[in-house]
């Protein structure tokens, strides 16, 4: 799908005791550990995405495959009117397949702020590596229950946000919440994580929700089901042929 949903953020290096101690002292090390803690496990899964609006609710079902590193493929299987739409992420490239047009398109940087499937998420929101490549991290608060990081974008970073506030769980470095602020310092939406699972020594969330803080009744909920974390994913799953026809 997009890298955040499909790859579950990005990057994974299991740190030893020395790495954990460094993460407690350095904001950048904490961010690195959060991002890297959620990478490195190949995955076949089904994702249920629910987009809630004051007058309607739309439910999507997607098939997700990822190598746990820099490649992912997501295909919409329901509802019928949207089935066949697919998203292929390889490194920093994102391709989208539209079955009505019968062809795939590369999403330019200018299109990454668009809403993903009409949800409360943009394509950029679903990234992960960019959080440490394009933001400077500082520790805003540290307690027994949460480490709060302020992420400030680099001057040249292509983002509409003025700041991100990232809360993570000490010890496991599992993400708890991510709040997005506009250029004026107003909180505009919040992503919260839940239903954590232990996978190869990592604490991985299998559910998250995004709430629009400026619009009542706007919410997006994503949950992974039927997850297989250990079956290898073949290279053919990350090609344009698989983008159009799937790889199962």
Averages of pLDDT over runs of 10 residues in the chain (248 residues) are: 36 28 66 76 88 96 86 93 92 88 85 86 68 86 95 86 94 93 96 89 88 97 86 90 87
Q: What is the pTM of this model?
A: 0.81
What pLDDT does residue 19 have?
34
Domain range summary for the chain, segments of one domain joined by +: 3-244
What pLDDT does residue 75 have?
94
Query: 133: how many CB neighbours lie within 10 A of its CB?
Result: 13
Q: What is the rounded CA–CA span in Å between residue 4 and residue 119? A: 14
**What CA–CA distances, in Å, run from 184 to 24, 91, 97, 132?**
30, 32, 36, 22
Residue 130 DSSP SS3? helix
Give me the sign of the Cα torsion angle 13, 18, 24, 25: negative
Which candidate, 78, 96, 84, 59, places its Cα nearest to that of 222?
59
Q: What is the rounded CA–CA span in Å between residue 58 and residue 51? A: 5
What pLDDT does residue 235 have?
92
What pLDDT does residue 201 have?
79
List of residues 6+ apart from 50 with CB closer than 8 A = 57, 58, 59, 60, 220, 221, 222
The length of the chain in residues reads 248
What pLDDT does residue 51 have?
97
- Out of 2.50.20.10, 3.40.50.1000, 3.30.450.20, 3.40.50.720, select the CATH number for domain 3-244: 2.50.20.10
Q: What is the rounded CA–CA span in Å between residue 75 and residue 59? A: 14
What pLDDT does residue 143 have?
94
Which candidate, 40, 31, 88, 80, places its Cα nearest to that of 64?
88
Q: What is the rounded CA–CA span in Å between residue 14 and residue 32? A: 11
Q: Could you tell me if residue 119 is left (phi over 0), alpha (psi between -120 and 50 degrees) or otherwise beta? A: beta
List of residues 6+ apart from 61 with CB closer than 8 A = 46, 47, 48, 49, 76, 77, 78
* DSSP code at position 122: B
């Amino acid at each position: 799908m997009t890298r955040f949903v499909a790859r579950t953020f990005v990057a994974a290096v299991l740190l030893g005791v020395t790495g954990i101690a460094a993460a407690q002292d350095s904001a950048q090390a904490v961010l690195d550990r959060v991002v890297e803690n959620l990478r490195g496990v190949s995955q076949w899964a089904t994702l249920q995405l629910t987009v809630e609006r004051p007058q309607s609710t739309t439910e999507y079902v997607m098939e997700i495959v990822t190598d746990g590193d820099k490649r992912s493929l997501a295909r919409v299987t329901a509802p019928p009117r949207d089935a066949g739409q697919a998203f292929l992420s390889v490194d920093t490239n994102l391709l989208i397949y539209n079955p009505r047009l019968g062809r795939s398109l590369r999403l330019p940087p200018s299109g990454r702020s668009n809403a993903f499937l009409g949800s409360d998420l943009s394509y950029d929101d679903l990234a992960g590596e960019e959080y440490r490549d394009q933001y400077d991290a500082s520790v805003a608060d540290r307690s027994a229950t949460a480490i709060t990081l302020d992420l400030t974008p680099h001057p040249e970073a292509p983002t509409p946000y003025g700041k991100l506030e990232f809360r993570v769980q000490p010890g496991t470095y599992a993400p708890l919440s991510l709040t997005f602020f506009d250029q004026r310092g107003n909180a505009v939406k919040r992503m919260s994580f839940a239903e954590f699972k232990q996978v190869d020594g990592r604490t991985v969330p299998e559910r998250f929700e995004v709430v629009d803080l400026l619009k009542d009744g706007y919410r997006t909920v994503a949950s992974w089901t039927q997850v297989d974390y250990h079956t290898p994913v073949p290279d053919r799953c990350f090609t344009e042929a698989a983008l159009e026809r799937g790889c199962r």
